[in-house]
Amino acid sequence: MQIQNQGSFTRGSQLYAHKFRMFGQGTKNSVIVGLVCAIGWLLWRMYQHLSLVSVYYLVIERYVQLKLAIGRHFYPLSKIGIEFYHFEKKDFVYSSAKEYIYHFWHVMPYGSSITSFWHWCIYSALLELSAVFIIGVLVTTIFFIQRGKQIIGVAKIRGGDLVETKVLALILRKVKMASNIVISGLPLVKDSETQHILLTGTTGSGKTNMLNELLPQIRKQNDRAIIFDLTGSFVDRFFDGKTDILLNPFEENTENWLPWNDCQEDFEFDALASAFIDGEGFSDKYWEEAAQKVLSEALNKQKDSKDLTALLNILTKVSLTEFCKYFEGTSAAGLVSKEGEKGTASVRATLINKIARLKYLKDGGKFSIKYWINNGQGWLFITAPPNQRDTLRPLVSAWIDIAIKGLMERSPEAINQKMWFILDELPALQKISSLKRGLAEGRKYGGCFVAGIQNIFQIEEIYGHAGALSLLDMFNTRFLFKVGDSRTAEYASKTLGEKEISETKESLSYGADSMRDGVNINTIEHTKPLVMPTEILSLPTRTCYVKLAGNYPITRLSMKSQI
């Protein structure tokens, strides 16, 4: 036998021998308890049938019987008797043997009790004592098993809880904190919609399916909504031509928008220029800022005429001399001049590249996003199908930015009606400067943001590491679907929370001498996540972990297909 196999054999045999010895000791303890119960039952039955007085008279009766058995050979039966203490008469009395025996069994009540007990011993004692013994052994065994389970196990000290969806829904309804918005049987926390909702999950994990369940409930509540639709599926499913508005310059039934419909102040033009010239592709920040300033000044100069054709002509077609002359007397004059022809050409080239999408807008457009937010009805659908996405990305980002600012300019009458921002794929947009403020302050104006991301990297690429974490922390309700990378899974796991537990474990020791065999029980306190990152990585489609706003347990939620 190899040394390794020999060691395994020794270990296995020693441990099993020790287990059997301990099992024998446990069985012995159960049997002892069973015997104690049986003896106790016997004593109880004796107490029911007998008394000390009856035992006293029985002892005398036995003694009298002995005297008769011996004395009849030497004396007449009438001469055989006994003097004893009579409890009823409270004195010593004399009685013949035959008279005492007759009175004991037929006159005094003590004989009948002795007879009753004797009958019980013959006909019932064995059955009753056996039953009591077996019950005692079984109860003791069950107690030992349960106690063993309690000792070796895990106990929560503090931290979060993971419960079934039905239990969490019951908790919310019991404390009257269940919202009218219900996702697959789980209500949101009442009034938590304005604390925003984040959907995290890889492609095809179930984010859009959840939105398909959410949107009809928003419509039913007569809430307003701005929906960023990447594929057109939301338009196909939920667009109502009677009340809703579509915003996409490539669609025939779109509303026509121009920058001046929502921008009249210098800072508004600066923000719009930042949305169009987002910094992508710039190695030097100077060219980005210069192009933004020139575009802002050009928009400002055209705010009275609102002539988009003239704006594009000046920025992209006129000669360099005319281009520089147009900005004379403005804050952009130092950035574009004939003396710095090379720099001016670079700024203009940047402008031509970045504002090309403005040519798809139409002159004469009257639609104002801010006006619609304050005075309109229904929903606003902003679409950007895959073949148009790169072209529309700056424009859509600008529209969302304007909409968020318009939210914070709502009239007091409009604040009571919720305004939902449905951003299915937030990273598909450029950096939106007002988003952080909208998340932080939007609840005062009835703003409810629902954003979807696939992973942490996407949002960090746009907002930076600290900016992304700060942004995501403002979403208080989380739906965490399957993700495709370990870092996002770890982030999701930490988001769901941890718990501190006390874990009791059993260890065995053994040796050649049986005195060395033993069991050690150790208790260790440590922290563990409520949900492991690997569990999030392996979630089925349309299944997610949910963390609601407030101090509530988390749950694993399975959703039905809404297609």
The DSSP secondary structure of 7-50, one letter per residue, reads: HHHHHHHHHHHHHHHHHHHHHHHHHHHHHHHHHHHHHHHHHHH-
Q: How far is CA 66 from CA 80, 82, 93, 96, 107, in A?
A: 11, 12, 19, 13, 21
Report the pLDDT value the prediction gives residue 339, as an integer from 0 to 100: 75
Domain contains 535? no
Residues 237 and 377 in one domain: yes
Report the pLDDT value the prediction gives residue 66, as an integer from 0 to 100: 77
Q: Is the pLDDT of residue 268 over 60?
A: yes
Of residues 257 and 112, more confidently modeled:
257
Domain contains 108? yes
Q: What is the largest CA-CA distance in the chain?
A: 162
Q: Is the pLDDT of residue 518 over 60?
A: no
Domain boundary (341, 359, 377) is at 359
Domain contains 393? yes
Number of domains in the chain: 3
Domain boundary (338, 359, 380) is at 359
Q: Is the pLDDT of residue 406 over 70?
A: yes
β-strand pairing of 81-86 with 91-96? antiparallel
Q: Give percent of the chain above pLDDT 90.
A: 46
CB-CB contact of 173 with 188 (8 Å): no
Q: Is the pLDDT of residue 99 over 60?
A: yes
- The CATH number for 426's domain is 3.40.50.300
Residues 325 and 375 in one domain: no
β-strand pairing of 197-200 with 477-480? parallel
Tokens (6 digits) for 240 = 């109502």
Q: What is the mean pLDDT of residues 366-371?
A: 94
Domain contains 7? yes
Report the pLDDT value the prediction gives residue 413, as an integer from 0 to 100: 73
Residues 250 and 280 in one domain: no
CB-CB contact of 299 with 267 (8 Å): no
Lowest mean pLDDT of 64-68, 176-180, 484-488, name the range: 64-68
Half-sphere exposure of 216 (CA within 13 A, CB side): 8
Residues 130 and 16 in one domain: yes
Q: Give percent of the chain above pLDDT 70.
A: 86
Determine which helix (DSSP H) or strand (DSSP E) holds 183, and give its type and residue range. Answer: strand 178-183
What's the CA gap between 225 and 118, in Å, rounded?
90
Give strand pairing partners of 504: 523
Residues 326 and 391 in one domain: no
- The CATH number for 279's domain is 1.10.8.80
Q: Given its phi and psi angles, is residue 446 left (phi above 0), alpha (psi -120 to 50 degrees) or beta?
A: left
CB-CB contact of 419 with 445 (8 Å): yes
What pTM was estimated for this model as a whole? 0.77
Residues 336 and 223 in one domain: no
Domain contains 37? yes
DSSP state of 540: P
Model pLDDT for residues 297-314, shown as the tens digit of each residue: 999 999 989 999 999 999
Residues 249 and 379 in one domain: yes
What's the CA gap between 275 and 248, in Å, rounded?
17
Dump the DSSP string for 491-539.
HHHHHH-EEEEEEEEEEEE--SSGGG-EEEEEEEEEEEESS-HHHHHTP
Tokens (6 digits) for 160 = 């979060």
Looking up tokens 């007759």 gives: 102
Q: What is the mean pLDDT of residues 535-549?
A: 96
Tokens (6 digits) for 481 = 């679907």
Domain contains 375? yes
Least Cα distance to 231 among 391, 361, 357, 389 occurs for 389
What's the CA gap between 263 and 282, in Å, rounded?
26
Residues 7 and 90 in one domain: yes
Report the pLDDT value the prediction gives residue 15, as an integer from 0 to 100: 62
Residues 21 and 144 in one domain: yes
Domain that holds residue 249: 206-255+369-452+461-475
- Find which of 51-65, 67-81, 348-362, 448-462 is predicted with most confidence, using mean pLDDT: 448-462
Domain contains 201? no
Report the pLDDT value the prediction gives residue 419, as an integer from 0 to 100: 96
Report the pLDDT value the prediction gives residue 105, as an integer from 0 to 100: 67
List, in order, residues 6 or more apart from 488 with CB less than 8 Å away. Answer: 200, 455, 456, 457
Residues 279 and 343 in one domain: yes
Least Cα distance to 279 among 271, 266, 288 occurs for 288
Q: Is the pLDDT of residue 42 over 90?
A: no
Report the pLDDT value the prediction gives residue 74, as an integer from 0 to 100: 72
Residues 84 and 137 in one domain: yes
pLDDT band at 274 (very low <50, low <70, confident <90, very high): confident
Report the pLDDT value the prediction gives residue 458, as an integer from 0 to 100: 93
DSSP state of 259: G
Domain contains 492? no
What's the CA gap between 380 and 451, in Å, rounded?
16
Q: Given its phi and psi angles, is residue 141 left (phi above 0), alpha (psi -120 to 50 degrees) or beta?
A: alpha
Report the pLDDT value the prediction gives residue 547, as an integer from 0 to 100: 97
DSSP state of 124: T
Angle, helices 52-71/109-123, rounded to nearest 10 degrees: 90
List, in order, residues 6 or more apart from 438 with CB less than 8 Å away. Answer: 404, 407, 408, 421, 447, 449
Q: Is the pLDDT of residue 345 over 80?
A: yes
Q: Is the pLDDT of residue 278 over 80?
A: no
Range 9-13, long-range pairs (CB < 8 A, 24+ positions): 11/510
Lowest mean pLDDT of 161-165, 388-392, 449-453, 533-537, name the range: 388-392
Of residues 64 and 319, more confidently modeled:
319
Q: Is the pLDDT of residue 383 over 80?
A: yes
Q: What is the mean pLDDT of residues 217-241?
A: 94
Tokens (6 digits) for 312 = 């594009």
pLDDT band at 465 (very low <50, low <70, confident <90, very high): very high
Average model confidence (pLDDT) across the chain = 85
Q: What is the mean pLDDT of residues 194-217?
A: 95
What's the CA gap between 299 and 29, in Å, rounded?
93
Report the pLDDT value the prediction gives residue 6, as an integer from 0 to 100: 59
Report the pLDDT value the prediction gives residue 127, as an integer from 0 to 100: 86
Give strand pairing partners of 479: 199, 546
Domain boundary (475, 509, 541) is at 475
Q: Is the pLDDT of residue 506 over 90?
A: no
Q: What angle do CA 390, 394, 400 make, to 5 degrees?
A: 120
Report the pLDDT value the prediction gives residue 201, as an integer from 0 to 100: 95
What's the CA gap between 132 and 181, in Å, rounded?
58
- Main-chain dihedrals φ then ψ at residue 530, nearest 5 degrees: -65, -35
Residues 236 and 330 in one domain: no
Looking up tokens 């949910």 gives: 546
